[in-house]
Each structure stands twice: as C-alpha cells, then as structure tokens.
Amino acid sequence: MIRIVTLSEFPPDVIDFVTRRLHAAYGMGCELEGEGEIPNAAMDDEQSAYDAVKAVDDMDDDVALYADDKILYLTAEPLTAPAGPMGRGPVDGYAQYGGGKAIATAHGISDRGVPLEIGLAKRAAHYVGHLWDLHHCFDPRCAMHPGWSPGFAAYPEVALCLFDREKSERKIKLGST
Amino acid sequence: MATKSQEPVIGDGSLHIGDRVVYPNQGICRITGVETKHIAGQNWEVVTLSREEDGATVMVPKAKVMGIGLRKVADVAAIDRVFDELSTPNLDPQLDWKVRHRENADRMTGGGLFGTVEVLKGLHALSRVRPLPQKERELYDNARHLLVGEIAAAMNIPLHVAEDNLDYALWPPEGMTRKGKALPPATLGPPSPARAAVDDLGFDDEEMGAEETTTTAAAPAAQESDDDEEEKEAAAPAAAKKTAAEKPKAAHKPEHAPPRREKPAPAAAKKAKTAHAPAKKPAAAKKAAARKPAPKTPARKPAAKRPVAKAKAKAKR
C-alpha cells in the first residue's frame, strides 16, 4: 500500500488524480492517509528551502507502516539536498532507496508548463519508483527519467517504461506481503 | 565445521576485517571474517563478506581474493575523477554490438571503477542515438546501480543524492557547471519504441480531462497501434470480426501490453471472452479434424452401444 501524507494544501481532485496514477503505475493500493507538517529543523542554512533528506528522516508522524508499505509526503515547498560532487542542482524530491519514505514537491511545476496534477503525479511515481529500487531511466517518456530534463514537460503522461515496470513488478512480488 | 582465525592477511595485505570493499558485479560488501571450511574433504580458507544492500553472505576462497577483482571502496579523489569523466560528453558510441558486448563484459567482470564508468557512459551515449536492447538495458541498470552504490559509500551521502549527482553530469540541467566550466544542458533523447504498447493506462473514461494533455505526445504511437490492430483484424476469421466489431474495446484490450490494473470489470471480461473465442475455435477445429479422420463406417463403434441405438430408433418410431 502506498500511503500519501500531504504537507501542504492541495485540491482534492489533484490528490485523487495522483492516487489513481500511482495505483495504475505500480498496481498497488494507494490512499490519502492524512496531513502533516515539515519539521522546522529541516529548513536549510539559508532559510530558503527545506532539506529533503532531513525532512524525510526527521518527520514525526504516526502513520503505521506494515511490511512493504510506502509512505509519500507531498508538499508545495521548495526542497534542497546536501551538496554532492557536482554541487547543488535542482531538487524536486527525495526517496530512501529501497526504503519506506519519500517526499515530492509541487514547487516549480507550473514554471515548466505542466498541469499541477500531471506534474505532481509524475514526480510522485518517480519517487515511489526509487522506493522500489528503480534507478533513473534514459527513456524521456518514463516517469523515472530525471525530473529536470526536457522529457518531463515534453511527455507529460504518467507511466513507467517496460523495463522499469517489469523490475518494479519483480520487487513488489518479492515483497513480504 | 568452521573455525575462526585471528588477524589474518587478506589478499595482498591491504584488506582487513571490517573494511568496505567492492565485489565485481555484486556491489558494496563488508569483510566480516576469515574462516576455515571443510568442503568436499578439503579444508578451505574463505573470506566471508556481507553484502550491504541486502545482508547476503558471500564466501571467497582466500587465495582468489585478488584474482576476482575484490578491491577497497574508491576514495574521494577517485570519485572526483569519475565525475570529470562523466561530465565529458561521449559523442562516439561503439555501434558494433559484438565489440561493444565483449568490451562491456570485460569491464564489468574486471570490477574496476573506471571500467564501470565507461560501460555506463558508453551505453548512455548509445541510448541518446537509439533505444537500448533488453540485455544492454539491464547492463546499463547494473552499471548504474554499482556506481551509485560506490559513490554513496565513498562520499558518505545518501544513494538518492549520489544518483542525482551522477545524472547532473550525464544530463546536465540548465546552468550546471563542473570545475567552473559550463556543461551543455541535456536535450531530449529518443523515446523507447516499446512505449507504444504500454502507454494506455486505461483511464479513457476517467476524470479531469487529462486526455487532452496526455494524448498530444501519445497520439502517433496510439495511431500506429490502431493500424496494427486493423491489420490483425483483417486476417481474423469473419466470425471473430463480427463480435469484435460489436465490442471493439473489449476485443482490443488484450492485444496491448498490460497496464497494471487490478481486475477487469466482470462485464468487460465477458466481452473479451466472446470477442476472442470464435477466433480460436476454427483453428482448433481444423487441427482436430486433421488429427482424427472422421469415422466412415459404423463398424468402429463398440458393440455394446448397438442395442442402445436400436432402442432409441424404436422409440422414435
């Protein structure tokens, strides 16, 4: 089961759209679990965005996760991530690879000319994919394609490529539930 | 029977118990010990490793540790060189699949960091020209998995941050620089051809007018698949045609690769059955007819049945 927790206000039809698309992409149940707040400690040093890694790790929620349940936080706040070897780049979410928690933001979707519900659903599918150990994909139409590339706006459908679909199916079948 | 020895020398002496190492094609492991195992009448000294990803135990004969390419996790300086290499565009991918396959297999078996980088970079460059075949797609994913794991382990950063950074080099976003030099932003690559069969998520009848936005990109692919189906329909027997024409949706759905949906509605399932059944029947009937010639004489019938047939005939009269 994929459980969604909203950390900002979203129109109900957008959340409904996201849950349906996640269900279609992974074949798992998906439902809105409730609302929450990003911990203030996750604010980065410049006080301009939330550190996505800290936000997920320090999130204080009482959502009960059973076996391979996944929890996805949706926010509209800007996110950032620790600097890596390439410095800082665009960040639209974070996922614990092979773990249980991920976060995706709606920030910046409108700037790319993509409708909110489609952009958010695509990002949600992307980060849930990382929870199932999927890596980035070179196919620009796949939801696992990097979110900053031109494929995000050029192919707005929310779907996985055949390879990622099969890989996620294998992972889900091996899951303890 | 296993016995533990203390402070053993592993490989050339550079590896110690507790070290994080890279096992070729397996990923990051931690050396947990050296044990003596009694196997097939012989005593073998084996180095035991625990794979960090899933905790699986790997045992390697001590004498073969260096031969299989076991090595320490790369240091930060090596990772820095990896990103220098990744951020240099590869404009000349190997197009000969035999050469490419042999080179990539050697690099992956060798287990070197830069060998993995070359595999990933080469296949990435090829994917910008044309979609990768299945085996190379798997190899691309394996190389990426190994590299992301090693970068994360070497830099002590989360796997997700490591992969994002890897792709900042491969698919540079607007304004990305490497050591003060601006990288050319990524352009749109070719989509995979297999997508045509997967695109339909089955939300045709659903809400929010998403079709208007999504069909713009998917329209050519959908049209192609429609054309294919028309050809198939033309070849099908006339009986199948009639039922398929009555229920076009139900007849078409099973032809597509399966978008994941839980259970089809019972009505749709029935329609699908009715649409497909007649198409199969004539072929099956023909085969059966070819195998079993029709009985010509009643002499083959078992004798016991004759009285029954006679009795029936009498009853009719």
Min Cα–Cα distance to chain B from A56, Å: 12
Q: Which of A138, A141, A152, A164 to mutate to test the interface with B (most CBs of B within 10 A)?
A: A138
| Stated pTM of the model | 0.73
B261 contacts in chain A (CB < 8 Å): 24, 27
Residue pair A137/A159 in contact (Cβ under 8 Å)? The answer is no
- Mean pLDDT score, B132-161: 94
From chain B, pick out residues whose CB is under 8 angstroms from the CB of A12.
none
CA–CA separation, B5 vs B182, rounded Å? 54
Task: Please report residues of A whose CB lies closer than 8 A to that of B220.
Answer: none
B125 touching A (Cβ < 8 Å): no
Counting Cα atoms < 13 Å in the Cβ hemisphere of A95 gives 26
**Cα A26 to Cα B258: distance, rounded to the nearest angstrom:** 12
CA atoms within 13 A on the CB side of B103: 17
Most confident option among A43-52, B111-120, B252-261: B111-120
pLDDT at B315 over 50: no
Contact yes or no for A149 and B186 at CB 8 A: yes
Tell whether B186 is within 8 A of chain A (Cβ).
yes
Torsion, Cα of B200, A95, B21, A167 (10° steps)? -20
- Block residue for tokens 């698919």: B171
Residue among A117, A154, A165 whose CB faces B208 most closely: A117
Quick: pLDDT tens for B83-122. Answer: 999 998 877 788 888 899 999 999 998 889 999 999 999 9
What is the phi/psi pair of residue A134, to 5°? -80, 140
Tens of pLDDT along A86-126?
988 999 999 999 888 999 999 999 888 899 999 999 999 99
A85:B79 CB<8 A: yes
Which of A21, A44, A58, A86 should we substitute to test contact with B (largest number of B Cβ atoms within 10 Å)? A86
Q: What is the mean pLDDT of residues B196-214?
A: 44
Q: How confident is the model at residue B6 (pLDDT cuts 50, 70, 90)?
A: low
Distances (CA, A) of B212 to A111, A151, B216: 20, 18, 7
Helix, coil or strand: residue B257:
coil
Instruction: Please check whether residue B221 touches A, CB under 8 A.
Output: no
Residue in A closest to B146 by C-alpha: A135
DSSP structure class, residue A68:
T
- Closest residue of chain A to B192, computed from CA coordinates: A139
Cβ pair B27, B52 in contact under 8 A: yes
> What gap in Å lies between CA A27 and CA A89, rounded to an integer?
32
